[in-house]
Structures are given as C-alpha cells and as structure tokens.
Amino acid sequence: MSHVKSIIPRHKRRDVGMAGLALGALGVVFGDIGTSPLYSLQTVFSSDGFAVKATHEDVFGVISLVFWTITIVVTIEFVIFIMRADNDGEGGIMALIALVQTAVIKRPWVKPALVAAGLFGVALFFGDGMITPAISVMSAVSGLKVAAPAAANLVVPITLVVLTILFVIQRFGTNLVGRLFGPVMVIWFLIIGLVGLLQLNHDAVMLKALLPTYAVGFFMNHVGVSFIALGSIVLTITGTEALYADMGHFGRPAISRAWFLLVFPTLTLNYMGQGSLILDNPSSIRNPFFLLFPDWAQIPMVILATIATVIASQAVISGAFSVAKQATRLGFMPRMTIKQTSNKEIGQVYAPAINWGLYVAVIALVVAFGSSAALASAYGIAVTGTLTIDTILFLVVVRKLWKKPLWLVWLAGIVFLTINFLFLAANMTKIFSGGWFPVAIGVILLLLMLTWNRGRKRVTGVRAEREGSLSGFLHEIEMLDPPLMTVPGTAVYLNAHRDTAPMALRGAVEFNHAIHEQIVILSIETTRSPFVDDENRLSVDDTGYAGDNIVHLTAKLGFKDTPDVPHLLALAEKQGFDEGIDVAEATYFLSHLEVVPGGPFEMARWRKRIYCALSRNASSPTDYFCLPANRTITVGSQLAL
C-alpha cells in the first residue's frame, strides 16, 4: 500500500495526454503490485509446516485463487468501485477519513470509531512502508542464489547497500528518476508477461486455472491448507491501496487503462507461467520467478528486478512523506519538517524524520529476518488490515454520503468484507512468526496519533481562552489614551483562531506599549479538501477595528497544501487585500505555548508525558510555515496539561 509522490500535478492533468498519464501511473502506482511475482508464489509453496504441494490439484487451485483474488479485490472492488469515492479528486485512506468526517451519523460514538479505524489503517501503512523496501529489494537480490549460488552470502550485504543508497537519495527528490519510472516499469511488465507466455506456449494446460472451479475445489477439498495458503496468496495484491491513493495524481481513467491494458494481463501471464513451471519441475518452488528465465538471462533479470523493486520502494517511502504531511495538516501528528523537492510537482516532498525513521526500521528488519520468505509473514497483515479498513470506510461513504439503498450496501459488504476478513484471518495465524510487527507498529502509532489529537484539542481550547476576543482587544487599543506608540515596519502575527487575539500581540501592547505601523494577523485553516486554489485561499475578516493599520486575514489550505506564509502574504498583496504589506521586510511573530504535564486535564499521566514529548520534538514553526529565521520572533508562555 502506498500514497506516493505526484508525478503529474492534479491541476495540470488536462494538459497531459492519457498515454502520458498512464505511463506515469505505471512507474509509480504499480511498482509494488508489479514486483509481487518475485516472492508471492515462492512463499505459498515454501511455507514451512504447511502442505501446499507441487501437485496438479494444488498448483491449479493456487493459481486459480491468485487470479480470482486479483480479479475480485483489485479489479472489481478497487478499480471499478472504491476508486469512485474521491475527496476533491484525491483518493486513499486519508481521503476516506476526510469524507467520513463530513457524514451525518446519528450514534455519536460511530464516527470517532470509524476515524480511529482509519487512523489504524494509516498506522499500518507506515508498517507497510517499513516492510515493502525490505522484502522487495531482498527478493530481487535473492535471485543471486539462482544465478550464482556461490554469492548467496552476499544477498543481505548487497540489500543493505541498495537500501542505504535509496534512503540517502530521498532528500534530492525524484525529478530525474521519476522520468525513468514509467519506461522501466513498461519493460518490466512486458518481460515478465513474455516469459510467462513462453512457458505457457510450452504447456498451455495452465490456462484452465482461470476457471473459478479450481479455486473453489481447492478451497473445499483442502480447507485447512487453502486457508493457510490465503495468508501468502494475499501477497499478490500488495500495493492495491496505491491504485486508489494515487488517483489524485493521475486520475481514475489513466490508472484503469494502465491496469487493464498492461498490468493485469502481464501479471496473470507470469503467475500462470510460474504455475506451469512448478508442475513441470517441482523443485522450482525454491524460486519460480527467476527459474522461468534461461541461465543467461538470470543475472540481467536480477539487475532489472533490483531496479524495479527500488522503484516500488521509492513509491512507498515517498508515500510515507505524503501521508505524514496530510496527517499533520489534519491535526493527527505534530509539526514536522516537510521539504518541497520540486518547484513544479506539488506532491514531491521530503520529511527527514520519517525518512531516517523508516531507514532504521528497514535495516533492522533485513538483519533480523534475514530472508524475504521470513519477511512475508510480517507483510500480509499490513496489507489485509488496510484493505479491510478501506472497504469499511467506503461502505459508510456509499450509504451516508451517496445515499445508496441499504440492501445494496449490505450486498457489497457481504461479498467484499467476507473476502477481506478471510485474508485477514489467514494472516492472523502468522502473528507469532512475524505478523506481530505491523500490528505492534500500528497500535503504537495509533496511540500516538490519538494522544496527539486529544491533547492538541485541549491545548487549543486553553490557548483560545487565554488569548481572548480579538475584536474586544482591538476595541481596547482604540480606547487607549494616550494612544499606543507606533514603530516603523510590518508585523505579521500568526494565530490559530480567527476570533482570538494573538498572545504575542497582547505581549507587545502590555510590555512594550507599542505596535508596528502595519499589522497583519494571519489565521490558517485546514479544510477537508486536499487542495485549495489560490483564488479561493484568502479572505479579509471584519474585526470591527476602525483603523486601517491592522488587518486580519484567514487563509484556507487543503490538507496536502504547504503552509507557506510569505507566499500567502505575497498573494494577499497581489490580490489587493492589503497593499501595505511589505513581505520582503516584514517581521513575523509566533506565540509559543510550552506544555508540561501536571495540569487538571483528564488524561492518563503517561499519555500527558507522551504528548509533551511529542510537542517538544515537533519541528520549529519557523520551518513549518516557511518563515525567514532572521525576521521571526517567538513569544512564549507555559501551560500545565
């Protein structure tokens, strides 16, 4: 699952042909699911202790289950249905959370429960972001065991080197590499489809596996074995979330066309080719993907597979940056440094804290698990958990926002959730063999996000009480006799609320008895839409103040927009809201509230400590709001939570 960088900005899609969009989608959207053939079938047949055999019945049953899993979950559920649910053109679990927050639900506990479930899906995504680079790159490099068995001991060291390079280059962005994503993945899909077709040309009997009767028969005749096999078969649909999450970057039509015209058929051919090879040579279960290729092609395929898995990993890592940015803007994570890596592509961002946190976790996973087969046990729960939560939130949107009949929602729920829960239940059997990892990561991150959100709301409320009414404060200034002294220059005060007086401005009046000759009070509101166009960003608020030297602006930003305050002020000047703003020489004032535990707020003391620790380690508001450090002044006070 991934939420990845925008290769094509949403507002420029009309200027780009459908073929270009589809090519971009191939390079970004399908990297994860496109590299699943490297390890998924190998995991199914090599699971220790479970009797999935290289027999005619088992192989046909597994390939049929793979085909129909991809068909039902990816093609029908996501491409045809769930991708119709968008938030201002954006998809993904964060978009579903935003949509659910707008729904009218009678029972008061239901909406918070749904939002919490969505946040757990977000948390699982970060677990996915740790596992995907590890398992993908290690699976590709593991081809050395087939092509050059003597180099088997080099798999882990080479994997660590590749991953280190991958994380180091994140800070440079992907402008150049991004242009290569699509063509490389086109080559990848064509080659894996061709090699599968050549194997089927040698033995076309595997085409019968497309019949659903083989999947049903395998499941009914070997209930226990087939149920356990589902835990590995789900690896064939890793990256399904990306089809939905990246809808805002490329559009539903481009993603759908790329899926139906290239990705789906080539994946099907490759999986059937691997099945045919396993029937011909049962020993090939040790690595059926690379053994499909002749000896002379195996080393080149290891290289191509490594490049493809780096692309898939790049998408997931950059997706983590995007999700962190969205979660921060929606108030579920503390401020963190988010750097824009492209002047043209709004979705290309870099979060140093997320990058190096993921790096440490990925390296630890590679060293601890030691093989892609061992990592597969940890992978499935993250995938199935997220897909299940996506489905639940989608059904709520269908019923509450689209007003579809209840019977239709129940029918869709029975079909899709039954399949999702079967895969989830099958993966729960792997809890003690690695599946605990994404669950633990999910629980920890969910707790952190809920703690931050609750504490933030409390701190925001107390802060509003301390700040008091803005209109009342400005009225007091007007009534002062003698009037306040004025100092030259423009002062910009950032304030969380449009109706309250900034603490820094109150301090200037109370302690300095002076104000700047031009004052701008700026409040930033985050909408539930991912983006807000420039013409709809700014509004001037009537504060009741008679003078013309104090103006209050409210800026509306989407949860994927960057809060660039100097840009907003330049925009205000350009649009004529206040021609007196001197953006180049303005002084910025921030009101900082230091939070310490020990107050009366009803929250467990250990959670208060967590909130305070997160608050202390939040990134500087100067960086977050893109302010010039040499012209920014912070005025602080303390609050006991």
Whether 209 and 305 share a structural domain: yes
State the DSSP string of 16-29: S-HHHHHHHHHHHT
pLDDT along the chain (641 residues), means of 10: 40 55 77 90 73 86 95 95 85 87 90 93 87 88 84 88 88 58 89 95 88 92 86 90 76 89 96 94 91 92 90 79 82 83 58 90 89 78 91 95 94 94 90 86 92 91 87 85 85 88 87 86 86 87 76 88 89 75 84 85 90 89 89 86 81
Whether 389 and 481 share a structural domain: no
pLDDT at 580: 63
State the CB neighbour count (10 A cutoff) for residue 584: 10
Does a structural domain hold residue 2? no
Please tell me the distance from the alpha carbon of residue 323 to that of residue 3, in angstroms, as a whole number. 7
Whether 497 and 444 share a structural domain: no
Does a structural domain hold residue 458? no
pLDDT at 48: 52
Does a structural domain hold residue 461? no
Please tell me the distance from the alpha carbon of residue 273 to that of residue 588, in angstroms, as a whole number. 64
pLDDT at 17: 61
In the Cβ-directed half-sphere of 320, how many Cα atoms lie within 13 Å? 27
**35: exposed, middle or buried (Cβ count in 10 Å: 0-12, 13-18, 19+):** buried
Q: Is 162 in contact with 310 (CB distance < 8 Å)?
A: yes
Distances (CA, A) of 407 to 77, 395, 412: 17, 12, 9
Number of structural domains (the chain) is: 2
Please tell me the distance from the alpha carbon of residue 555 to that of residue 568, in angstroms, as a whole number. 8
Enumerate residues 6+ apart whose C-beta is below 8 A from 548: none
By residue range, what is the domain housing residue 569? 469-640
Angle (deg, nearest 10), helices 56-69 and 223-233: 50
Q: Which of 422, 453, 484 is the last residue of a domain?
A: 453
Whether 423 and 535 share a structural domain: no
pLDDT at 574: 82
Whether 403 and 489 share a structural domain: no
Give the H or E element holding residue 488.
strand 485-495
Does a structural domain hold residue 60? yes
Whether 423 and 499 share a structural domain: no
Nearest CA to 349 among 357, 358, 341?
A: 341
Enumerate residues 6+ apart whose C-beta is below 8 A from 482: none
Please tell me the distance from the alpha carbon of residue 397 to that of residue 394, in angstroms, as a whole number. 5
